[in-house]
Amino acid sequence: MKKSIFFLSSIFYLLSSMPVMAATLSFSPASGTFNKSCPLILNVVLDTTGADTDGTDAILIYDASRFTINSINTQSKVYPDYPGNNVDEASGKITISGLASVTQAFSGKGTLATLNMTVKDTAPAGITQIKFDFDPNDKTKTTDSNVVQRGTVSDVLNSVVDGSYTIGTGTCGVSASPSPGTGTIATPAPRGTTTVSTPSAQPKTIPPTIDDAVGGETGTKEFTAAVAIVGGILVILGILGLALL
């Protein structure tokens, strides 16, 4: 009888001294300010704290009037198979379900999934939360978030850390107006064009040329021909005069 009591006491001691598996789910970033129309990339982080797991269900609750869920990225994440991802905008619920392979469990800390989100341009400003649907008082509940231990049906999810985010009043993609008094930046001329500088207009007097005085080049030729004719007539008259003498 004493040996039986000692044996049971030893088993109880061993069981009580074993580390309790307490997996956690959290967000990264867990907080921050995001303006309207801005992207928000949110990682769902799983930490099994040493437990070998067969799979994880993360049920998220968000405000659909503030966020648009563009996609759920599960490539190269902690589990090889994600058969149950879903976004229900009507109820503001996101479901992420990952399964381990038959030959290899997952143990450790890593990204369960990445949410690619956008803050709506009509989102009300202020603080909003993205929460895990999780009931710590009911381990038999299967419709909330849970982490299943390898080879069992035990839920080892012990705690969750919800995200808290502030929606700002600014917008994305709008450049600030230049400060007054900063000067004007000249726009360079397109390649292949020539910029000609125009000097200041100044009065300028051009003296007339001989051509201008007699009507240009044509007037000069006519004047020369007339002089030659007159000269010829005078020569003839001179010869006639000498003959009469």
Average pLDDT per consecutive 10 residues, the chain (245 residues; last block may be shorter): 45 41 94 95 97 97 98 95 95 97 96 97 96 93 95 95 94 43 32 35 40 43 47 50 45
pLDDT at 182: 30
73 and 141 within one domain: yes
221 and 141 within one domain: no
Residues 78, 112 contacting (CB under 8 angstroms) = yes
- Residue 188 domain-assigned (yes or no): no
What is the residue type of 191? R
Alpha-carbon distance of 62 to 208, in angstroms, equals 92
Helix-strand-coil split of the chain, %, nearest 5: 20, 35, 45
Please report, for the domain that includes residue 112, its CATH number: 2.60.40.680
b/e string for 8-30 if b means 16 or more Cβ within 10 A? Answer: eeeeeeeeeeeeebebbbbbeee
Residues spanned by the domain of 229: 215-244
- Residue 226 domain-assigned (yes or no): yes
157 and 225 within one domain: no
pLDDT at 12: 38
116 and 235 within one domain: no
129 and 237 within one domain: no
User: From start to end of the chain, where are the E strands?
Assistant: 23-28, 31-36, 39-47, 53-61, 67-73, 86-88, 93-99, 109-119, 126-132, 146-149, 157-160, 163-171
- Residue 10 domain-assigned (yes or no): no
Residues 66, 128 contacting (CB under 8 angstroms) = yes
pTM exceeding the 0.75 threshold for the entire prediction: no
- Residue 202 domain-assigned (yes or no): no
Domains of the chain: total: 2
Distances (CA, A) of 102 to 53, 80, 106, 148: 11, 10, 11, 14
pLDDT at 94: 98
- Residue 199 domain-assigned (yes or no): no
> If you compute the radius of gyration of the chain from its CA atoms, what whole number of angstroms results?
48
pLDDT at 31: 97
